[in-house]
Structure 1
Amino acid sequence: MHFLVAESEPADARRRRRDSVGRSSGETFVDVVTALVPGATCHRITPADADSVLPGRAGLRDYDAVLLTGSPLHAYDDTPEVRRELAFMRAVFGSRTPAFGSCAGLQIAVMAAGGTVRAMGSRREAGFARRITATAAGAAHPLLRGRPPAWDAPAIHSDEVAELPAGATLLATNGVTRVQAAEIRHDGGLFWGVQYHPEISLCEVAAALRRDADDIVAHGLAQTEADVEATAALVDGLHGDPRRRDLAWRLGLDAQAIDADRRRTELGNFLGHVARRSVPSLLSGACG
């Protein structure tokens, strides 16, 4: 199978992320997708970059699916980087190639299809989105197959979907961010997306906390950057040994966030959906 990973991060954000965890958001997606789909090939592109050569609608049809990563870009900003991202996503919809996105990937898809995104103001989700619940539509949707009635997931964001576009379905929500998961049908295309990050490891969660420590303190989620570091250290410890019940208790996490397979549920479900369209036997039991 052939997948296209569209890295939403601009070049400076890719460098900062590589400095902290050794890989960019797109490289994380490539690693996870190839682990979930043995033998798959992934091509990585950077639509925000001015010199990036991007496939058009015809070229996009050569892929089984497109995956959009997170990014510090604000989808509502009228900048060259965002305009390139939106133009690419509109081409993805028009190509009718199935697509999945997390965090800013969801926000770009929403904007490209005619919805709106806004800054969260004083609210934040930093580290983990808590008590996510499926809507009635989401409970029956294959994206959330295997999730319990409520779950936590890695998340760190300062923007959110304000209004879903026409042709979209709200699939999951929580008390902080109304749109936690959604399906978008637009211009013949299909997109499944989540505001959280099923693709990242606990180590990457800890690194994100450290990168955003000043913002976390500024918005009252921690008193000092040392407090952020203390939490990041707990997350790092749980990454090193997921059996540490003491760390899970202190962080208030269960297997939905700790266990890698369960953490990747939505991404695995999407890849399984795509695989069944192409190769019915592939990924038949990837997620549970």
Structure 2
Amino acid sequence: MKLLIADIYSANGRTGIVASGGTKAGDMFDRAVRLHRPDAEISVLTFDTASPDMPGPIEAYDGVIWSGSNLTIHRPNPLIDAQIEMARTAFDRGVPQFGVCYGIQLATVAAGGKVVANPNGPEIGWARGVTLTDAGRNHPMYRGKVDRFDALCWHNDTVWELPENADLLAGNAHSDVQAAILRRGRGEFWAVQYHLEFDSDEVARLVGGNAPALVQAGTLSEEGAAAIVADMQALSALAADPSAAPDALKPVVDPLTRTAELGNWLDRVDALGGR
């Protein structure tokens, strides 16, 4: 399987993640893919400029995976314009796509929908009570997942209007759209708002490393940031033996369950057999 991972952070955003102790998005997705397809041939594309050096034509790949990003899809930016154009090209050429967080927002805009700053404010650390719709319960993306679960997340924006021909698969009290299938032309994009590629160590490092800035901005209180870090440290302790974790925490603690949506998409790519 030949996959292209698009790390769509800006260069400054990527540097900031590393400075706070986090892992580059491309590396996290490489690791997540290899849980399910250890022999996948993976190329990582970074959007440091609006004209990134593509490792090959998009139709040469069996699928494209889009990461999260520090960018804001509804603010004009040449990097964003280039990303939207690339997503539309993949749609129109029938290349399967998968994305998280900013990825679902990118897919929404590329297919004709609308994304705004979440009126409920940022959703950081936990996406609580992600609940599948009837369409989600019957969709292969959620094979192996329970109907309601908590997930790890970090986002400020939300999908406000899904485009035509989209299927809403999941939502929660904070964000109406937590997962969807987006369509345009010949293509289909499977996407989630939460970060299934994150593990608890990653969230603890990111929140802990950015806590002063988050508190100064009024995004989190000192107590709120500390509580998220403490939650993640407790999850990390359970990760040594996910089978012993409480059932409610297994969707977060067990790597294969946490990334099941991605694994199910990879099965779909296999089934398409080169489109």
Q: Tell me if both proteins adopt one fold, taking TM over 0.5 as the criterion.
A: yes
- Does the 8 A contact of 2:21 with 2:209 survive in 1? no
Q: Give the corresponding residue for 2:39.
A: 39
Partner SS state of residue 132, structure 1: strand
Q: Distance in 1 between matches of 2:194 and 2:98?
A: 12
TM-score normalised according to structure 1 size:
0.86
1:282 maps to which residue? none
What CA distance in whole angstroms lies between the structure 2 residues aligned with 1:139 and 1:230?
A: 32
C-alpha distance in structure 2 between counterparts of 1:133 and 1:187, whole Å: 29
Residue 82 of structure 2 is aligned to residue 84 of structure 1: yes
| Structure 1: gaps of 5 or more residues | 280-288
How many Å separate the matches in 1 of 2:264 and 2:31? 17
Match of 2:142 in 1: 144
Secondary structure, aligned partner of 2:174:
coil
Question: What's 1:184 paired with?
Answer: 182
Q: Which moved more, 1:45-54 or 1:98-107?
A: 45-54
**How many residues were matched structurally?**
272
The correspondence of residues 136-285 of structure 1 with structure 2, limited to 5 A, is: 136-214=134-212, 217=215, 222-224=220-222, 227-242=224-239, 254-278=249-273
| C-alpha distance 254-221 of structure 1, shift in aligned 2 (>3 A) | farther
Q: What CA distance in whole angstroms lies between the structure 1 residues aligned with 2:233 and 2:144?
A: 26
What is the CA–CA distance in structure 2 between the aligned matches of 1:211 and 1:187, rounded to whole Å? 42
Match of 2:126 in 1: 128
Deviations 1:48-79 (A, max 9, x none): 523512378xx211111100000011111111
**Cα deviation code 1:112-133 (max 9, x no counterpart):** 1111100014522110101111
Distance 1:212 1:19 in 2: 10
CA change 1:244–1:97 in 2 (3 A) is closer
User: Is the 1:238–1:244 Cα contact (8 Å) retained in structure 2?
Assistant: no
In structure 2, distance between residues paired with 1:186 and 1:197: 24
Per the alignment, residue 285 of structure 1 pairs with none
Task: Give the superposition deviation at 1:233.
Answer: 3.9
* Structure 2 Cα separation of the partners of residues 21 and 37 of structure 1: 27
Output one character per residue of 1:22-65: Cα deviation in whole Å (capped at 9) or x when no partner: 53111111122123202111001123523512378xx2111111
Structure 1 residues 211 and 75, CA gap change in structure 2 (3 angstroms): farther
Distance in 1 (alpha carbons) for counterparts of 2:241 and 2:262 = 26
Contact 1:48–1:84, Cα closer than 8 Å, also in 2: no
TM-score, structure 2 as length reference = 0.90
Report the Cα distance in structure 2 between the residues aligned to 1:20 and 1:239, rounded to whole angstroms: 18
Q: Does 1:18 align with 2:13?
A: no
Quote the Cα distance in structure 2 between the aligned partners of 1:254 and 1:84: 38
- Give the AA of the match of 1:232: V
Q: Is the 8 A contact 1:47 1:54 kept in 2?
A: no
CA contact (8 A) 1:172 1:182 kept: yes
Letter in 1 for 2:3: F
Question: In structure 1, how many angstroms separate the alpha carbons of the residues matched to 2:61 and 2:102?
Answer: 21
Which residue type is aligned with residue 65 of structure 1?
Answer: G
Cα distance in 1 for partners of 2:75, 2:180 equals: 22
Aligned CA distance change for structure 1 residues 177 and 260 (closer, same or farther; 3 Å): same
Q: How far does residue 244 in structure 1 lie from its aligned partner after superposition?
A: 8.6
Q: 1:172, 1:218 → 2: CA distance?
A: 32
Stretches of 4+ moved more than 6 A in 1?
A: 218-221
Structure 2: 5+ residue runs without aligned partners? none
Identity among equivalent pairs (%)? 35
